[in-house]
Amino acid sequence: MTVLDTPIRTTSTTTRPPTTVAAESTSMSFSGLESLQKGLIHTDISPKIARWMVALFIFGIAVVPIMQLIVEIVSPHRHVQELDLFRAPQIDARAGEGRLHHSARVLKAWVNKEHLAKFEDDLKEESIFRHVIQPRVQLGITKYLGFGNDGGVVAREKFFRPNGWLFYQLGIDYLAGPGMLQSDFIKHRERRMFDEGEEDVCADPRQAIIQFNKDCQAAGVHLVFVPLPVKPALQSAELEGRELTSFRPVAQNRDYDRFIADLRAAGVDVFDQFIPKTVEPDAEPLFLEQDTHWTPQWMENVAAQLADHVKKQVNLPTPPYPFAVTIEAANAARVGDIVDTLHLPGNQKLFLPQEIIIHRILDANTRQPRPWREDSDVLFIGDSFSNIYSAPQMGWGDSAGFPYQLSRHLGRDLDALIKNGGAASELREQIADRPQPLKGKRVVVWEVAMHELTASNWKVIDMSSPSAAPPPAKRP
């Protein structure tokens, strides 16, 4: 065959489809997915190791109640509290009530949600692991890793070392969480409160505050609302564990300005002028190192400013009783309430007591604390920020707290209702339960910690029997 006889092959311009490469098998292939749906999971763990893992898991679950039961049986001062679940609450039979109806009431109380919840709380409180093992484990975690728990946050330096400052988790949540006025956030909180069994739920604090202000105005009373800032807002450098080298704006919840603007637009007298606008380098701390609350020095300064504000707003007459007080300096020292929240061992040395000086307000004649007077024309409502330095059970002294300092600067005794965590709604309910809730009052001072704005149920309460007292005289 010659070259001319060789057939000529021409290049085709037809585009061929791309070659399909078979995909490699994966663990989520059809057969693998089908096995997973059937619960057939193939692992490299041998049956022997699997049995050991199951045994250790069951042991970990069972050892706690078994050890608790042994201690309760051996100890002469304990009883087998596991049997409390099968003991129905005591129900007094009503006169003329049949045995069958009484038994039904007992059974209903036995399976009641509150009874079961109380049983769980009692188990937790009496747990030997909670009182013996958990504090020591928490001490190691805090000391070497710088971690707190769901209630307390440990501020750290380099290498996870605690710097001595502790913070309340709710205060951080208030600053870093969603805006308090966001509709989705409000609905979520109300749904959660309802699921927890609360009634008359309201997560929007504006409604309760504005309604209470209307009730006060109808009774001729001037309301002063005093929101107190959370600790991490003013001690942010300590929370971060670094030195502050320049001025820094004070942090707030993203909806705080709108919240205050709405209250003032509705006529509410909001007193928050005492809150600094910036955090200054090397400034004196305004909060206790290991506690949720403010220092006595800043508290006294705010009380003086608040008294001046009240005097400018309302012309208070001279009280119809003698008011003479003396100021007595006293020392107080303890670890803060956040140390209590961590549940560390009683002999721990990681957080030492902080020493402070308070100024007790005493009667000039008896040298004893002056009692609250329900007939006073100034009513004070407050929470733990008012109880600290006032209530001896909090461990920071007595007769030196916010309402005592306000009483001193106003020159009159106060009618005071104070309860830790109860200023949002509970104390207003107590006022509403009075025969004439606001009779004889000219001023109501309402102090609330800001973290309660995003954590409490702000019930809208109707003061059904407001006094018809004349309106307070305004100063020009």
pLDDT digits (tens, 9 = 90+) for 246-302: 888 999 999 999 999 999 999 999 999 999 999 998 889 999 999 999 999 999 999
| DSSP codes joined into one string, 352-382 | PPEEEEEEEEEETTT-SBPPP-TT-SEEEEE
Cβ contacts of 459 within 8 Å, gap of 6 or more = 200, 201, 202, 208, 425, 428, 429
The mean per-residue pLDDT over the stretch 24-53 comes to 70
Across the chain, mean pLDDT equals: 86
Q: With 60 as the cut, is the pLDDT of residue 25 above it?
A: no
The mean per-residue pLDDT over the stretch 223-243 comes to 94
What is the pLDDT confidence band of residue 96, given thresholds at 50, 70 and 90?
very low
The mean per-residue pLDDT over the stretch 115-120 comes to 74
Q: What is the pLDDT of residues 155-185, one digit of tens each?
A: 998 778 899 999 999 999 999 999 999 999 9
Looking from the CA of 333 toward its CB, the CA atoms found within 13 Å total 6
- Nearest residue to 42 (alpha-carbon basis) of 53, 51, 31, 52: 31
- Nearest residue to 189 (alpha-carbon basis) of 178, 113, 423: 178
- Nearest residue to 426 (alpha-carbon basis) of 418, 416, 434: 418
pLDDT at 470: 42
Structure tokens at 415: 């009618």
The mean per-residue pLDDT over the stretch 415-439 comes to 95
Alpha-carbon distance of 330 to 328, in angstroms, equals 6
- pTM, rounded to two decimals: 0.78
Is 430 within 8 Å of 365 (Cβ atoms)?
no
Is 466 within 8 Å of 215 (Cβ atoms)?
yes
Beta bridge partner(s), residue 449: 228
Q: What is the pLDDT of residues 57-70, one digit of tens each?
A: 998 888 888 888 88
Q: What share of the chain is helix, strand, coil (3-state, %, to 5)?
A: 40, 15, 45
Q: What is the largest CA-CA distance in the chain?
A: 139
Structure tokens at 143: 């000391």
